[in-house]
């Protein structure tokens, strides 16, 4: 009986030590790899420590929030606390979170902005987007609405996987697929702006054709109508 009790105590100690080790591992990772302006995504921690159960990681993050060591921004998104004596807590910008979660992170590009906001960026419209529209590899569903504080974001899955080499071409094809809705400027007049944006895109001819063919007919017709293929510095 006494021996069983001793073994049980030893077992509990081993479990406690293992839990403490896991806690320290996650905590050290967070504080050594993130600054106050960088969002912390639970999915990144899941990937980094796939051998640790997700429920354990969530419990550790929840405890860190309660202890005011990190701040919960939204589901699956945290940050280190950033406090200024003059203005109080400083929140990470929604734009920074959106960029890192859906567009680019660690030198990798896996998404892009589209729709009115993209047309506005090119100077093809004076309209402003009420809702940010993004295409990203990081969504399983075809369409997903995300809310960050008061910001609404619509995230769609891509027709073609987004890469650093093709994302500009995909943006232009999205634009050309419904050009008159996105721009008040005549397509022929807007062509020079589109060509300039495509400068530096370097894709094989077959790859360009494959991507273009994955889009609806309107995008294809407009693409070849203004000869966008001539703007691409590929092996055409």
The pLDDT value given to residue 7: 60
CATH of domain 21-84: 1.10.10.10
Highest mean pLDDT among 15-19, 53-57, 204-208, 212-216: 212-216
Write the DSSP symbol of residue 186: -
Q: Is the pLDDT of residue 235 over 50?
A: no
Decide: helix, strand or coil at residue 111.
strand
pLDDT tens digits for 105-126?
Answer: 888 999 999 999 999 999 999 9
Q: pTM of the full predicted structure?
A: 0.77
User: What DSSP string describes 116-185?
Assistant: HHHHHHHTS-----SSEEEEETT-SSSEEEEEETTEEEEEE--SS---TTTHHHHHHHHHHHTHHHH-SS
Beta strand 40-41 with 77-79 is antiparallel
Q: Is 113 helix (H, G, I), strand (E, B) or coil?
A: strand
> Where are the domains positioned within the chain?
21-84, 94-231
Residue 20, pLDDT above cutoff 80: no
Q: What is the pLDDT of residues 160-193, one digit of tens each?
A: 999 999 999 999 999 999 999 999 999 999 999 9
> Using one digit for the tens of pLDDT, what is the confidence trace for 192-219?
999 999 988 989 989 999 999 999 999 9
């Amino acid at each position: 009986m006494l021996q069983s009790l001793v073994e049980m105590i030893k077992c509990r100690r081993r479990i406690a030590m293992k839990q403490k080790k896991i806690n320290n591992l996650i905590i050290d990772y967070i504080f050594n790899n993130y600054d106050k302006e960088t969002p912390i995504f639970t999915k990144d921690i899941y990937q980094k420590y796939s051998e640790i159960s997700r429920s354990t990681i969530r419990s550790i993050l929840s405890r860190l929030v309660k202890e005011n060591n990190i701040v919960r921004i939204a589901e699956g998104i945290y940050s280190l606390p950033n406090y200024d004596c003059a203005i109080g807590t400083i929140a990470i910008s929604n734009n920074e979170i959106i960029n890192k979660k859906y567009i680019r992170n660690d030198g990798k590009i896996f998404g892009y902005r589209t729709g009115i906001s993209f047309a506005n960026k090119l100077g093809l419209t004076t309209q402003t987007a009420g809702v940010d529209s993004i295409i990203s590899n990081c969504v399983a569903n075809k369409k997903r609405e995300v809310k960050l504080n008061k910001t609404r974001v619509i995230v769609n899955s891509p027709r073609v996987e987004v890469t650093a080499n093709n994302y500009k071409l995909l943006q232009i094809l999205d634009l050309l697929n419904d050009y008159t809705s996105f721009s008040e400027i005549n397509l022929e007049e807007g062509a020079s702006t589109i060509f300039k944006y495509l400068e530096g895109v370097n894709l094989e001819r077959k790859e360009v054709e494959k991507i273009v063919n994955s889009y609806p007919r309107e995008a294809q017709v407009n693409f070849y109508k203004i000869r966008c293929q001539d703007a691409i510095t590929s092996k055409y």
